[in-house]
Amino acid sequence: MIRLKWSNNSMMLLSVLLAVLLWVYVNNAQNPVKEQEFRVTLETRGELPQGLTLNGLPKSVTVRVQGKTAQLSGIRPADFQAIVDLSYITEGETTRPVQVTAPSGLQVVQVNPSRVTITVERVIQKQLPVTAVVKGEPLSGHTALEPVVQPTAVLVRGPARILKDLKKLELTVDITGTNQNIEQLLMIPLPAGVTASPDRVKVLVPVTRALPSRTLPVVPRYTGSPADSYQVLRVIPQPATVQVYAPVEVLRNLESISTETIRIDGISGDVLKEARLLLPEGVVDIVPGKVELAFQVKPKQPPTQEPPEKPQENPSPTEPNKQP
């Protein structure tokens, strides 16, 4: 039988090694390594050049880290930092890496997305009209008149790619089942990346009891004279008639609707001018509220000149008969 002879030093070394292995085993059993994901807000470093705007940058990224259970305990997304560097960026499309800083002791395993594609665009601003669209129907026996928006236009600012095709801004007002005027302060709906000043407008929708209406002709009113040697041939309102809403006793006394007075000084050709309609007393509404006046002019005819009268010839006097 073979006997192993161990020295004291060998026994001590073996004991230490066994103790370390036992400590590692117990530590891993009680505090194992694991992975965990965090949703981290994406930030930027550096400033965009003036007159440019950024699109396509996600609000956050997913960060997967590895660490001991004790290390991960109490860690929050705010303890991480995810950054995209915008230094030396120019107009157009570019791809930039996402740089993540994790709390001490944790290893970053994965960042999703690890790179972001962003678009840098030129910023412009323009004035756009604001209109309101009525949705629904008022209470039975009532009618809604044209919405009034104030202000009627706002200044918008945003990427040129979006604003170049934007012609107006539209709001929707629900009047379902109402029997009184609706007045609201509404936020203007805008495409992503676009701002407006002001960003809210006041909208009034007049709601009245249903009124009778009558179709009446439009009478144009104008002042001034065309250019020298020209005269007005005719004035044609377009449309020639409008719908007038008023109580019966008011409609009964109306024969026509007049336009505001339009100046035509110096015109030398056919022109088209917009004119508001004057609201007679007692009239609630006129649809449409404006017309176009087509002025047709022509050169003046020169005055007709009559040929001068031919002078009459005096008859020769009769010679007396001579006596022999």
User: pLDDT tens-digit profile of 236-274?
Assistant: 999 999 989 888 999 999 999 999 999 999 999 999 999
Res. 54: pLDDT tops 70: yes
Threshold 0.75, pTM exceeds: no
- How many whole angstroms separate alpha carbon 131 and alpha carbon 137? 19
3-class DSSP assignment, residue 51: coil
The predicted structure's pLDDT at residue 230: 92
The predicted structure's pLDDT at residue 273: 93
The predicted structure's pLDDT at residue 317: 47
Res. 310: pLDDT tops 80: no
Report the CATH number of the 33-113 domain.
2.170.120.30
Residue predicted with more confidence, 29 or 67: 67
Q: Which long-range contacts does 309-313 make (Cβ < 8 Å, 24+ apart)?
A: none
Res. 313: pLDDT tops 60: no
| Confidence bin at 321 (pLDDT 50/70/90) | very low
Q: Among the CATH numbers 1.10.150.20, 2.170.120.40, 2.60.40.3080, 2.60.40.10, which is that of 213-299? A: 2.170.120.40
Residues 277-298: tens digit of each pLDDT: 999 999 988 888 899 999 999 9
Residue predicted with more confidence, 323 or 278: 278
| Confidence bin at 206 (pLDDT 50/70/90) | confident
Strands (E), 9-160: 33-45, 52-55, 60-68, 81-85, 92-97, 99-101, 107-112, 115-135, 142-144, 148-150, 153-159
Residues 83-106: tens digit of each pLDDT: 999 988 888 889 999 999 999 889
What's the average model confidence in pLDDT over 193-212?
Answer: 88
Structure tokens at 177: 């089942």
The class level of CATH for 128-209 reads: mainly beta
Q: Which residues make up the CATH 2.170.120.30 domain(s) of the chain?
A: 33-113
Res. 3: pLDDT tops 80: no
Q: Which residues make up the CATH 2.170.120.40 domain(s) of the chain?
A: 128-209, 213-299
Candidate ranges 19-23, 89-93, 203-207, 254-258; pick with highest mean pLDDT: 254-258
Q: CB of 212 within 8 A of CB of 282?
A: no
